[in-house]
Chains A and B, each alone.
Chain A
Amino acid sequence: MQFPASTKGSEASSEVARRQSFEAEAMPHLQDLFRAAMRLTGDRTRAEDAVQEAFLQAWKSFDRFEAGTNCRAWLFRILFHCVHHHRRKWFRFPVLKETEEFLEANLPAPEPIPEQLRDDDILRALDQLAPDYRAVVLLVDVEEFAYKEASEILSIPIGTVMSRLSRGRKALREQLTSVAAAYGISKPTDGQPTRRGAGQ
């Protein structure tokens, strides 16, 4: 069956417009998505896989994306959905229960001295957070999303974002303080770090 030339022409130009719009709205966020996927999966191949899957899903449902709304948050939501789909296979460790006992046990939170820490110490501490805590710390502290945006990306209430963020940050600070202690950096009473050991 032959379609009228005008119909074919209009379909082609609509497809071109869709591509141009996707290139302008979605593709610029590729680096951000890969960076987050790396932290969520801990593996470059899995991160690439997750990002490719997220962009494929985004392309398929791009007609449902409302122009003018936050495309970056929309893409992150798709990415988290893709990662969550593979989560049972990828993350071997159990998710921590959000109990009051856990909160109470972590109330006294030390404050590490960032200048004394190496880059890979900081990344490792982030990667070692339980997945649910890592997700909110990543979204708010690294990707600078607002609580409301993080709650929409993760499909959880804002109150849960806030409690996970609080616990995740505490766990991160504790982890980094332990690293600093292992280097022989103590936390003095005057707020300035000192080094113990020979030659210091």
Chain B
Amino acid sequence: MTASHTSDCGAIFPLLDRWLDRELSPAETSAVQIHLGDCPSCSAIVARRTALRHRLRGVAAAVEAPPDLAVKIRRQLYQPAPSFFSRNWLLAPVAAALLLVLAIGLSTSYQRGGLRFTEESQEFYISSISPQTVPVMRVGLQQHVHCAVFRKASAFPSPAQMAEWLGPSFQKIIPVVESHLPRGFHVVDAHRCTYHDRQYVHLAATDGKRLLSLLITDREQGEAFESDLRAVAAQSGVRLYSSGVQRFSLAGFETPGHLVYLVSDLDNSDNLAALKVLTPEIDSALRRIENT
């Protein structure tokens, strides 16, 4: 019988994996089963491959999704993103009227006609451009587009109102940013807001034609520019990163506790230069906040 084992093994061996996968025809399954009952070496191979699959399945199954992932997904699916005006319900009718006026005044398009002022198309636009940059940069891009581009208001808040919205920790940043902005730009809005469950400190500036956002958000576990991008410059020992999506230029840096973004309609190099100027002051302000 040893001679027949050897001759059968050549034909049966290539079928062993498909037999384990239950993907053979009934005739082939039967042939393999008969052979295995009579061939210790093929049976040993089957035993090892079965054991390896069990180990593989076991170790892969040990990876668990973060507990809050289901919550994040449900919020994303079932709840509309909170708007700039949702922090004060009294502003909701104003927002609706403002959006209507903007919609009529500017037709249904923004700039090149690509962006329409409906919640669904805004989200669609944001989700369509987001994959064009790395995840850590999307955090800044999405908030700029969602809040500064789509939610831009014609009546801007007073400096006192902006300071109140930012609170004692961050209100000192407003004059710092104002004095270091590119020529012609002025801070026109500063507030705290939430987008897709993430809190931001948002300073928006304009020179009358172009928009610029300085965004600060808490750095979540595992988030780092370095993991997806190479630093393109450094300022006062702080590494700066840059990216671009369509007309939006993105630059950012991180502190131990925060991610900072400058997103604008400027050229990439001008946007990066603008962040370079702001970096020393913003970096030290955030580190002071983090150390208190």
Q: What is A's interface to B at a CB cutoff of 8 Å?
A: 19, 22, 27, 30-31, 34-35, 38-39, 43-46, 48-49, 51-52, 55-56, 59, 85-86, 89, 111-115, 117, 119-120, 122-123, 126, 137-138, 140-142, 144, 146-147, 162, 165-166, 169, 173, 176, 191
- Pick out which of these stretches binds chain A: B70-78, B173-181, B248-256, B257-265: B70-78
Please judge, given known A-B contacts A34-B69, A45-B223, A147-B23, whether A141 and B53 are in contact too, CB under 8 Å: yes
Where chain A touches its partner, the secondary structure class is: helix
Main secondary structure of the interface of B (DSSP, over half): helix
By a CB distance below 8 angstroms, the chain B residues around A59 are: 77
Stretch from B58-66, B84-92, B147-155, B205-213 that touches the partner: B58-66
1/0 per residue, CB under 8 A from A, across B15-30: the answer is: 0011001010000000
**A169 vs B41: C-alpha distance in the bound complex, in angstroms?**
19
- Nearest-Cβ distance from residue A52 to partner chain B, whole angstroms: 6
Within the complex, what minimum Cβ distance (angstroms) separates B242 from chain A? 16
CB-based contact B65/A30 at 8 Å = yes
Interface centre among B23, B57, B66, B76 (most CB of A within 10 A): B23
Q: Is the CB of B77 within 8 A of A141?
A: no
Which residue of B is nearest A138, CB measured? B60
Number of interface residues of B (CB under 8 A): 40
Chain A CB within 10 A, most for which of B60, B74, B127, B135:
B60
What is B's interface to A at a CB cutoff of 8 Å? 17-18, 21, 23, 41, 44-45, 48-49, 51-66, 69-70, 72-74, 76-78, 127, 131, 134-135, 222-223, 227
Q: Are A38 and B78 in contact (CB under 8 A)?
A: no
Which residues of B sit under 8 angstroms from A45, Cβ to Cβ?
A: 135, 222-223, 227
